[in-house]
Amino acid sequence: MKLLSRVGDDIAKLRQDVRTLITHTTHETIPHGANELADLTKAGLTASGAYAASRLRALKEYENSRRSAELLGSAILLGALGYGIYAWMKCRCEKQRSCARELEEPSLHD
């Protein structure tokens, strides 16, 4: 009987230790761990937000410089196209004038 009594006492002590462990875990460890996890999450979100904002600023700067380059390229292209049309029309007009002069001048063979 003595052995059975000692086993019962050991089981009671084990139950008490398990209760103490569960109480400590639920009141101390889990809340502290959750708080640490929440702090890490907040820090991560803050860092991610700062990174995203810096990338957006860099993208806007890139877009502005790209837009300027596009406008400059378009202006050069339009200028070249306009000069080409002007040169072609000028050449055409000069040909028409020379043809008109030939028609107006009396030929020496007549």
Rounded Cα gap, residues 12 and 80, in angstroms: 97
pLDDT computed for residue 27 by the predictor: 81
Number of residues assigned to the chain: 110
- Other Cβ atoms less than 10 A from the Cβ of 54: the count is 10
Provide the token pair at 45.
Answer: 């979100």
Taking the domains of the chain in order of start, what are their residue ranges?
A: 1-77
Over the chain (110 residues), the average pLDDT of each successive run of 10 is 82 89 81 83 86 85 80 90 89 77 62
Tokens of 16: 């008490």
pLDDT of residue 77: 92
> Which pTM was predicted?
0.38
Question: How is 21-78 classified by DSSP, letter by letter?
Answer: HHHHIIIIIHHHHHHHHHHHHHHHHHHHHHHHHHHHHHHHHHHHHHHHHHHHHHHHHH
